[in-house]
A and B are shown apart, each in its own frame.
Chain A
């Protein structure tokens, strides 16, 4: 086991609700591990404790069996991190920034050079490689920040929301590089609230909510709860009221413009008829019915707090 987190509790202020409330995690080398949760679930707090920016109030964190709460400098040597906040590299070009980080992390000049070239090419960043960091777009900066963590990767690579602002094509390229990091032996801890992307990219994941791990396992383990379900999504006509939840829905979340529900697989026909009637009545623009996803499992577990523009939530 490469990273072992046991019973970690962290409060920002005495008496405040804990940001981490007894977190347990275990990640092996070669694994991409997703840490999912909505804003404020305690994901970044956990990352900051692993890399030694913060100290847990209770519990322990071990990397390769070594206590990193006691020895934070060891954590910094063996962890490389892409922080959630953009790292300003004004004045440096992406190539310079990536190479400097690679060398600071102990890579030899030749290795770092060839690895930098490889990453810039793999993420299709060539045209920006020599441009001043101040002129880069948010998405390109985010990718450069990933390269800075990946050029001389640690035994543990922690990526905090690495795909924010990144275009769909380069997201795929990025996921391939995340996988490559794990294949080359690093453990990758991937922090995200993008459930759909996580489903395709991680080997295991944990869902964090209010500082606690709600559940942990492979994406299919987590989907087991909704495995015999279908994902029903309705897009409301502008200004139309959300229809009353039908009796067959096992979960039902309505926002101002969208309804997401799960229904048992054997009710698929009935659900399609119900949604078709709504469309003919002009109350919805369109609907889709598909196999349940990790997002459905996630919503079922964490509840509707994850859905933005929340207006009405009912459990059917």
Chain B
């Protein structure tokens, strides 16, 4: 049977399975992004244009990343515990197709939140964002990488540990990652670590494509994310194929 047909069937299957979660997920995503864009400025008495731009572009980035690194590991761990993942593994469907179908559904969950967050930021701060067409591949790559890392976490770690790791990641992403502020504010050692982790590059892609006139966009960020995406996708495929 063609891989395309399996993909289409699995997307429908997963979308129906998540149809309760889908509207809720979209609302939570939108609120999350809204909270960052509209709430963070309350922390500062005065706020300059660069800070505003950081928040306006960081909000969507945070919301994309948390879905991948937090919601995905939690739901995948649950699927592992209740046996759904093993059932899926008994079907005559290539693992890669299964993963791609799942990621497609996640993409549908996160994209409305991103659009909403960008709109809120533009209206709230009267921003004239210069959105580059590269935003499409950028969002795709960020979501693919984030869900792929999330999948790898959930597949490689025992379910309990994966759940805890995803909680810790929320704090790390929100407070200690250069998404809503420039990387030079971090202590040197943490900035160095972020040079290798995918989070900073995810932020750079979002900033560089949503406010293309203000922030630079480097090929390096695309390459680094591409490498993370490929490596975690491969690791997950291997784990899903492995027989105990």
Contact = CB atoms under 8 A, between A and B. Distances in A.
Chain B residues touching A, range: 20 to 34
A53 B89 contact: yes
Interface in B1-51: 1, 5-6, 9-10, 12-13, 16-20
Contacts of A96: 16
B184 interface: no
Contacts, number: 63
A76 B93 CA distance: 8
A289 interface: no
A106 B86 contact: no
A88 B12 contact: no
Contacts of B87: 83, 85, 87
B92 A77 contact: yes
Nearest to A145: B87
A103 interface: yes
A52 interface: yes
Contacts of B5: 103
Contacts of A103: 5, 9
Given A100-B9, A105-B92, A53 B20 contact: no
Contacts of A105: 91-92
A156 B17 CA distance: 28
Given A83-B90, A87-B84, A104-B91, A92 B17 contact: yes
Given A53-B244, A54-B243, A92-B17, A100 B12 contact: yes
Per DSSP, are chain B's interface residues mostly helix, strand or loop, or mixed? helix
Contact of B92 (A91, A100, A104): A104
A120 interface: no
Contact of B90 (A51, A88, A100): A51
B82 A88 contact: yes
Contacts of A101: 91
Contact of B16 (A55, A85, A92): A92
Contacts of A86: 83
Interface in A30-82: 51-55, 72-73, 76-77, 79, 81
Contacts of A215: none
A51 to B, nearest CB: 5
B99 to A, nearest CB: 15
A76 B91 contact: yes
B83 A104 contact: no
B91 A52 contact: no
Contacts of A100: 9, 12-13
Contacts of B16: 91-92, 96
A90 interface: yes
A90 B17 CA distance: 6
Contacts of A83: 83, 86-87, 90
B12 A52 contact: no
B168 to A, nearest CB: 28
A100 B7 CA distance: 12
A93 to B, nearest CB: 9
Interface of B: 1, 5-6, 9-10, 12-13, 16-20, 82-84, 86-87, 89-93, 243-244
Given A88-B82, A89-B17, A92-B13, 13 more contacts: A51-B90, A53-B86, A53-B89, A81-B90, A83-B87, A83-B90, A87-B87, A91-B20, A100-B13, A101-B91, A103-B5, A104-B1, A105-B92
